[in-house]
């Protein structure tokens, strides 16, 4: 399935035509005219709003910046590779590139989820501070190195919503016995609260919720949830998204493919990913705002806040989950230590900046 191809570009053509190498600009060696065609497999439904379309934007940026020298062919979940096999496919080199969420890979390494999001953890703003300027990226590269994967942050949804419930949640007791679609560490915290976490790919959530196979489901936020029709499958829409306060989405690249790129194309991929990291959350900001207005005008939907004691209970459960993971896995312990150290300082700063500011809005 690997179909990277090296079309000889201008450098080669010129040489063939008898132009001596020394007539070339030093900054445009023959290598930099090599052309690459990469497959990018995602964990998202085709052209999925925000997530899938964000990957399309990434592919377009890379094509435009490289003037066509690096072509990225985007495949939705299942088109080449099933959603939850993206990590293995890129690790093996079956495809050069993947896009998804690191917490899907906790079966490979529990530490992965800290590079996406953890319940009651960093918001998007803090994640970017930690990853780009707080030591996070060095740890992430180290954690993925054994899998021959190069990780690059490439998107964020911002704070998600708490999910769709077919009954009201007025206390921790109300969570007991519920089957709730929630991946990752949030699901583990729900287990401690007496609920049963269910892991389902996005495409199966609507039917499961509508048929009552599950009692509740979180997906992303108003924009995506409406696109999936979840507002027609359950009545109570809870906030905030305690379980996903700012998930970083990842671009993963097979190490050998990465090392075969000339430096300028590596820079193009890295910078395009950083631009998309902002572009995606900006689209979510705009479209979730519009989506919320639509839901608040819908008489069949009630937008409700989780009660404080439920949030406190889930926070305590989350801490228990993290401490158990850190005690069992030294890699998790190191990542958690770096994450927690940054979060303690950033919480204090956010308290007198973003948090104090939005509070003036009443």
| Closer of 5 and 211 to a copy of itself (Cβ) | 5
**Separation CA 265–CA 33 (nearest Å):** 10
Provide, rounded to whole angstroms, the least separation between the CB of residue 272 and a copy of itself. 6
70-75, strands of its sheet edge to edge: 70-75, 36-42, 97-101, 248-254, 149-156
Complex with a copy of itself: residue 130 or 336, whichever CB lies closer? 130
Size of the site for a copy of itself (CB under 8 A): 94
- Which x/- pattern, by CB under 8 A, does the window 83-122 give for a copy of itself? -------------------------------------x--
In the complex, minimum distance from the CB of residue 103 to a copy of itself, in angstroms, rounded to a whole number: 17
Contact residue for a copy of itself among 90, 141, 315, 340 (CB under 8 A) = 315
- Alpha-carbon distance 219 to 261, whole Å? 36
Instruction: State yes or no: residue 1 binds a copy of itself (CB under 8 A).
Output: no
Based on the shown chain and the rule CB under 8 A, indicate whether residue 125 belongs to the binding site for a copy of itself: yes
Identify the H or E element spanning 311. Answer: helix 308-328
Q: Give the DSSP letter string of 261-304.
A: S-HHHHHHHHHHHHHHHHHHHHHHHHHHHHHHHHHHT-TT-EEE
218 binds a copy of itself (CB under 8 A): no
Q: Give burial (CB, 10 Å; 0-12/13-18/19+) of 24.
A: middle
- Choosing from 43, 161, 248, 254, the residue that interacts with a copy of itself (CB under 8 A) is 161
The nearest distance, CB 156 to a copy of itself, in angstroms, is: 10
Question: In terms of CB distance, is 85 or 302 closer to a copy of itself?
Answer: 302
* Closest CB 325 distance from a copy of itself, rounded Å: 21
- Is there binding between residue 126 and a copy of itself (CB under 8 A)? yes
By CB under 8 A, the residues from 276 to 305 that bind a copy of itself are 277-279, 281-283, 285-290, 292-293, 296, 303, 305
Nearest alpha carbon to residue 235 among 148, 166, 318: 166
| Contact predicate 6/36, CB 8 Å | yes
Interface stretch with a copy of itself, choices 139-147, 154-162, 163-171, 332-340 (CB under 8 A): 154-162
Look up residue 51 and give its two tokens: 């997530």
Cα-Cα end-to-end distance for the chain: 56
Name which position in 36, 61, 105, 147 contacts a copy of itself (CB under 8 A): 61
Under the binding rule (CB under 8 A), the answer on residue 356 touching a copy of itself is yes
Task: Please state, in angstroms and rounded to a whole number, the distance separating the CA atoms of residues 139 and 119.
Answer: 20
CB of 208 or CB of 303, closer to a copy of itself: 303
Stretch near a copy of itself under the rule CB under 8 A, chosen from 172-180, 188-196, 211-219, 261-269: 261-269
User: Closest distance between a copy of itself and the C-beta of residue 273, in Å?
Assistant: 8
Return d(Cα 289, Cα 254) in angstroms, integer: 36
| Chain residues 227-246 in contact with a copy of itself, contact rule CB under 8 A | 239-242, 245
Omega before 240 cis (within 30°)?
yes
State the Cα–Cα distance between residues 225 and 231, nearest whole angstrom: 7
Q: What is the x/- site pattern for a copy of itself, positions 13-52, by CB under 8 A? A: xx-xxxxx--xxx-xx---xx-x-----------------
Phi and psi (nearest 5°) for 39? -95, 135
Residue closer to a copy of itself, measured from CB, 94 or 161:
161
CA angle, corner 143, sides to 142 and 146, nearest 5? 85
In a 10 Å sphere around its CB, with 0-12 CB exposed, 13-18 middle and 19+ buried, how is residue 199 labelled? exposed
Contacts of 223 (CB under 8 A, 6+ apart): 49, 50, 284, 287, 288, 290, 291
Interface with a copy of itself, residue 321, by CB under 8 A: no
Among 113, 117, 254, 346, binds a copy of itself (CB under 8 A): 346
């Amino acid at each position: 399935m690997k179909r990277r191809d090296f079309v000889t570009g201008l450098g080669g053509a010129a040489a063939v035509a008898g132009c001596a190498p020394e007539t070339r600009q030093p900054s445009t060696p023959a290598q930099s005219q090599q052309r690459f065609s990469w497959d990018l497999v995602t964990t998202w439904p085709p052209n999925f709003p925000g997530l899938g379309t964000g990957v399309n934007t990434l592919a377009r940026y890379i094509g435009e910046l490289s003037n066509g020298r690096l072509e990225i062919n985007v495949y939705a979940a299942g088109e080449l590779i099933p959603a939850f096999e993206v990590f293995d496919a890129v690790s093996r080199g079956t495809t050069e590139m993947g896009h998804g969420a690191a917490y899907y890979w906790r079966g490979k390494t529990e530490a992965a989820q800290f590079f996406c999001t953890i319940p009651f953890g960093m918001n998007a703003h803090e994640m970017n501070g930690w990853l780009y300027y707080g030591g996070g990226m060095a740890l992430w590269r180290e954690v993925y190195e054994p899998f021959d994967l190069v990780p690059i942050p490439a998107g964020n949804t911002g704070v998600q919503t708490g999910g769709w419930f077919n009954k009201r949640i007025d206390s921790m007791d109300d969570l007991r016995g519920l089957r709730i679609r929630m991946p990752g560490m949030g699901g583990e915290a729900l287990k401690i609260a007496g609920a049963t976490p269910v892991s389902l790919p996005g495409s199966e959530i609507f039917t499961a919720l509508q048929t009552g196979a599950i009692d509740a489901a979180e997906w992303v936020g108003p924009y995506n949830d409406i696109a999936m029709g979840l507002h027609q499958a359950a009545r109570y829409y809870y906030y905030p998204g305690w379980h996903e306060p700012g998930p970083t989405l990842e671009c993963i690249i097979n190490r050998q493919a990465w090392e075969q790129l000339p430096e300028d194309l590596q820079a193009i991929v890295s910078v395009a990913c950083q631009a998309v990291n902002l572009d995606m959350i900006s689209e979510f900001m705009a479209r979730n705002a519009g989506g919320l207005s639509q839901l608040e005008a819908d008489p069949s939907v009630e937008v409700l806040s989780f009660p404080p004691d439920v949030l406190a209970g889930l926070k305590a459960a989350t801490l228990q989950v993290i401490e158990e993971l850190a005690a069992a896995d030294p890699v998790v312990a190191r990542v958690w230590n770096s994450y927690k150290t940054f979060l303690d300082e950033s919480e204090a700063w956010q308290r007198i900046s973003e948090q104090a500011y939005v509070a003036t809005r009443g």
